Amino acid sequence: GAVVSQHPSWVICKSGTSVKIECRSLDFQATTMFWYRQFPKQSLMLMATSNEGSKATYEQGVEKDKFLINHASLTLSTLTVTSAHPEDSSFYICSAYSQGAIGGGYTFGSGTRLTVV
């Protein structure tokens, strides 16, 4: 149990285009989902927290108009990188939280590697 599917696993896009990344909890309902970004040889950096049906809470320094987060249901959250530029190239990881779920409540997706050319 407690599986999070993240799609796509990798994507290459042209500079100036937008990319959408999906995060789905497959066998549980996630009250809260988190989005992280990870640059090479660095740790995960929390970008935002999203709760179903409400606006996401962004961490300091993260541009909410550039990284659009939608949490339309208890099993799906999406992150859209708008007008992507090469510096947005990174590994994006989502995490879904459900109190009582296996693993202390937090389940991570397998990540999406975004390359902007």
Partner 1 sequence: DAKTTQPTSMDCAEGRAANLPCNHSTISGNEYVYWYRQIHSQGPQYIIHGLKNNETNEMASLIITEDRKSSTLILPHATLRDTAVYYCIVRVATRGAQKLVFGQGTRLTINP
- Binding residues vs partner 1 (CB under 8 A): 4, 6, 32, 34, 36, 43-46, 49, 51, 57, 91, 93, 95, 97, 102-111, 113
Selection from 5, 26, 28 nearest residue 97 by Cα: 28
Nearer to partner 1, 82 or 106 (CB): 106
CB of 2 to partner 1, least distance (A): 9
Question: What's the rounded Cα separation, in Å, for the pair 109 and 94?
Answer: 5
Q: Give the angle subtended at the CA of 104 by the CAs of 110 and 81, to the nearest 5°.
A: 35
Nearer to partner 1, 52 or 82 (CB): 52
